Amino acid sequence: MGDHTVFSLSDRFVERLAAHQPMLATQMGVAGHDAAWGKHDPESWQDLKALLREVRSELVCLPPSDQYWERLGRRVLDDHLAVRLERIERGEPLRDLNNIASPLQAFRETFDLMPRASEADWLAIAKRLESIGQAIDGYTACLTAGRQRGLLAARRQARACLEQCRVHSSDGAFFDTLAQQVLDTGTSSSIQRLVATGVQTARAAYSR
């Protein structure tokens, strides 16, 4: 369909979004980003807002089309970009804390979506375990910025999330199961050590 369609623009948007938010890339099934978290601090949301605005500008500049699916795709993409932009402009990422579906759960649940069939897979897991603290620090910086602006999550949600952090940092919880699973896969001892070290790092990150 050529390079000037909403479909090619959408493909480029997904690629750029995946590079900007590797955790989201894993959730979307976009390969090549499983070893990283990306930034999660307040600045990262301003960077994302700039990306969304740029893509929206590119969308507006697409040549006219009388094709049904092209026109429908443009409306869908524009709506998607508008919703994401509005969320950032309202400051929602600065108070995104709840006990079911917030970044706090997404950090942990991302490991459920990562393949574990090869040494390369386990190396990606080890790298994410080792660097999860940086992602959590960026996220907590967002929550701190939100509090400073009066954007607060509900207290009951915060208490529930504190309990989840306590569980994730405890003996025998999820992260410890990764250390056991890698032992059962026959991967090299060096990878096993990296995972074991990463598990302790991840537990410590959730205990802060």
For 40-87, the pLDDT digits (tens) are 999 999 999 999 999 999 999 999 999 999 999 999 999 999 999 999
Domains of the chain, earliest start first: 1-90 (1.20.58), 98-208 (no CATH)
What pLDDT, on a 0 to 100 scale, did the predictor assign at position 138? 98
For 74-106, the pLDDT digits (tens) are 999 999 999 999 999 999 999 999 999 999 999
CB distance 203 to 175 below 8 Å = yes
What pLDDT, on a 0 to 100 scale, did the predictor assign at position 1? 41
